[in-house]
Structure 1
Amino acid sequence: MRILQTNLLPAFLSIVALFLVQSNLSVSSVHAQTVPTSQAQINLSFSPVVKQTSPAVVNIFTKTLVKERAVPSLFNDPFFRKFFGNNLPGRERKRMGRSLGSGVIVRENGLIVTNHHVIDSATEIQVVLADRREFSAELVLSDKDTDLAILKIDTEGEKLPTLELMDSDTIDVGDLVLAIGNPFGVGQTVTSGIVSALARTQVGVADFQFFIQTDAAINPGNSGGALVTLDGKLLGINTAIFSSSRNGGSVGIGFAIPANMVRTVVHSAEEGRELVRAWPGIAGQDLNADLALGFGLNRPGGVVVSNVYPGGPADKAGIRGGDVILSVAGKEVINVESLRFRIATIPVGEKVELELWRGRKAKTVTYLASPAPETPKRNEQEIRGSNPLAGSVIANLSPALAEELHLGSLWEGVIVKNVARRSPAHRISLQPQDILLNVNGVKINRVSDVEKALNKKTKNWTLVISREGRKRTLELKR
């Protein structure tokens, strides 16, 4: 379970205390409203939903090869540490680390969805069904950006119980939900709560942030488990919690990846293809209250387009700089993160309508869901020889590579992908994601331009790079 530490415990306890006081003051009126009046009400229970859904939730156990340095006990003495620091003599050894999580069976043939971080770097994955049968699992697809992974177990033709993915856009705040998983490895556990909020985008546990928040108790080991509605459908995959305690205990703020994103990843796994998502093809910013006033809108919400990739899907749809994107396929766009989520969940090749605000008027355009193009080809090259860039790996930037590296609208140029330690490039403090702009007076647009500049014999070097949007010039003399 991804744990997001906070310092909210004192405030949280204060709120709980206030709630308890208020509850005691009004206890008679509450009881008067909730006393059961029939046998059916007395027997009201989540049991039928649990019996229907829990067989499709599995426990996942993984083994991971962990590298660590074995240091002789002699060198644990503070005297030796004073001289050696972290460079203590010893040898590297490997050991098996173990972790646990949960998963959900989404297809009868044994296709299981879980979190990427549950199986990340695992050398062995074991799945335990609700009836305690164990299976070795094969990793079919893993996507760090969404924190989702798809596993497959061999059922030898047996059909397994499954959970149906619902349309997660039909849920409302306040709806009752159940969280099912394997917290702390104690075994399958069910907790209940409500949908506390929708479209949470400031959680920071995945690149595509658009989470369902719930107060159903979620704890370490629940990762990859099911968040289900009372009609027995899968609303989301539990992935993270806020916690004010070191052991990661629940304080009633948990997050789940919506089923609509899960569906996209599952379909890619079923078709046996690489996960390819639709791409907005624009750069933009959130529409705040001040901007809304300037655009003639009565409230904030939406994305102001600042740049459109030429020939991309937004350009072909007729979107241009200065437009405000308000909705995708009838679903409201709140900010840039929600726009990315909405576009990414549209199947590639499908057409949807986007509502825009242009010139103080509403306008609708048709958007064809398309992946980010890899134009130009990345032409990845490792630089060698006697030059200050030696030891670096460079590539042509494209929208596809920019998406892969999470660079936003940085769509063109030559990017540094990697820098070898103790290399000339490392010594001049070159860093991954630096953009090469100029080498000895040669303007850099492609990898071939770098090769051309390096072929010129010179004793002195002038490099111009862009780092996090700022230009830097490096003068290097022998």
Structure 2
Amino acid sequence: MKLPKVTATIGIFGFFVALTVQAWAYTRDEENNMELYERLAPGVVNITSTILERDFFFNIIPKKGVGSGVVIDKRGYIVTNHHVIEDASKLEVTLANGEKYTARLVGSDPDTDVAVIKINAPPSELVVIPMGDSDNLKVGQKVLAIGNPFGLGQTLTTGVISSLGRSLRSPTGALVENVIQTDASINPGNSGGPLIDSSGRMIGINTAIFSPTGANVGIGFAIPVNTVKRVVEEIIERGYYAHPWLGATLLTLFPDVAEALHLPVRRGVMVVEVVPGSPADRAGLRGGNMQAQVGNYLLLVGGDIIIRVEGKETAQAEDVIRIIRRYRPGDRVRMDIVRWDGSRERVTVVLGERPRTNRYRW
């Protein structure tokens, strides 16, 4: 606990004592925290979502949820998590000054857990939080999280980047990569709020915590801002994010399976099924055409085995998906494959745009 510094001056006759109280002395770190909160907190909004559910008697019961969002420009665009607005029939945004606005959903991408909503508020009421760069972050770097946990109003928590390059499952089960791990407290209601660096730039969107109890235990995760920027730009432009699409069902080839099937390679990614007319089909990739039992598993085999994509070895199905995600629809991707007969070829796939309603993910 800090105490004010007190000095006493005694007059020559001892008739008076003059007390001088020195102002509170804050550390540079504290001053940085306070300055950033005062400047940026007005750019963090509270989002209340109303979801219509039915009870046992099929009566419609409104159910409310809360989350946070970040104002990203003066036009009223706000970025948040997909799971904050998922299935909402009504969205209400409360600014830091208490003003409330009905928001409309611009679009969302469940695979990255990013959503964009918009309000019609005067530009003078909107404080924009600038976006930074998440490619050059360092473990140990100071971060701040601003949000609205438990609906108590805006709060600030601080911490450091605990780890980088984490992977996290989105609400759809898709793998979100390069996730930021932090020990800054993130609690229910913080979802969709910004993770900020010491210069006042947003480096991530707080999205989840790891906790056996549901409360913060010092392990929180944020979607990197470079992912957010890429997705948000497209959502604003077209209402959704266009994922690259190969058009094939993939399965990791394990050494024991390769040995049991007498394959010429021990590791790679089996093409189990190819969607007719898909980019994979047009490139000449072949899926399985016969069934084989390996242990307790019945596999569809006979298709190609992908061993490299753009020169990078692919030992697991996730490796292929990870590389493809770096490209956009229309890009050309080279793949080195091994045919079922042992011959090796290189094919070029022109990636398509993944259908928005399709059971084939890749």
Instruction: State TM-score, norm by structure 2.
Output: 0.68
1:154 positional shift: 0.4
1:237 and 2:233 are equivalent in the alignment: no
1:104 and 2:70 are equivalent in the alignment: yes
Query: C-alpha distance in 1, partners of 2:37/2:316?
Result: 36
Query: C-alpha distance in 2, partners of 1:311/1:104?
Result: 41
Against the structure 1 CA distance between its residues 221 and 157, is the aligned structure 2 distance closer, same or farther, given a 3 Å change threshold? closer
1:138 and 2:104 are equivalent in the alignment: yes
Query: C-alpha distance in 1, partners of 2:129/2:264?
Result: 45
1:167 positional shift: 4.3
Letter of the 1:404 partner, please give it: T
Q: Is the 8 A contact 2:145 2:156 kept in 1?
A: yes
Q: Which has the higher helix share?
A: 1
Aligned residue in 2 for 1:43: 28
Report SS of the residue matched to 2:101.
Answer: strand
Q: Is the 8 A contact 1:201 1:338 kept in 2?
A: no
Report SS of the residue matched to 2:228.
Answer: helix
Among 117, 120, 138, the alignment partner of 1:154 is 120
Aligned residue in 2 for 1:382: none
1:219 and 2:172 are equivalent in the alignment: no
Q: Which has the higher strand share?
A: 2
Deviations 1:24-44 (A, max 9, x none): xxxxxxxxxxxxxxxx99423
Q: Which stretches in structure 1 are left out of the alignment for 5+ residues?
A: 1-39, 70-90, 373-399, 410-478
Query: C-alpha distance in 2, partners of 1:341/1:366?
Result: 17
1:407 positional shift: 4.2
1:371 positional shift: 0.7
1:59 and 2:14 are equivalent in the alignment: no
- The CA RMSD measured in Å over matched residues stands at 4.1
Query: C-alpha distance in 1, partners of 2:323/2:196?
Result: 22
Q: Which stretches in structure 2 are left out of the alignment for 5+ residues?
A: 1-24, 258-262, 287-303, 340-344
Query: C-alpha distance in 2, partners of 1:156/1:287?
Result: 56
Letter of the 1:225 partner, please give it: G
1:348 and 2:333 are equivalent in the alignment: no
Aligned residue in 1 for 2:173: 207
Which structure has more relative contact order (CA 8 Å, sep 6+)? It is 2
Report SS of the residue matched to 2:29.
Answer: coil
Q: Is the 8 A contact 2:108 2:240 kept in 1?
A: no
Q: Is the 8 A contact 1:191 1:216 kept in 2?
A: yes
Among 303, 307, 314, the alignment partner of 1:324 is 307
Against the structure 1 CA distance between its residues 141 and 278, is the aligned structure 2 distance closer, same or farther, given a 3 Å change threshold? same
Aligned residue in 2 for 1:304: 269
Instruction: State TM-score, norm by structure 1.
Output: 0.53
Deviations 1:65-106 (A, max 9, x none): 33213xxxxxxxxxxxxxxxxxxxxx4433332221101112
Query: C-alpha distance in 2, partners of 1:44/1:54?
Result: 17
Against the structure 1 CA distance between its residues 325 and 206, is the aligned structure 2 distance closer, same or farther, given a 3 Å change threshold? farther
Identity among equivalent positions (%) equals 37
1:140 positional shift: 1.5
Letter of the 2:69 partner, please give it: G
Aligned residue in 1 for 2:353: 371
Among 404, 408, 424, the alignment partner of 2:357 is 404
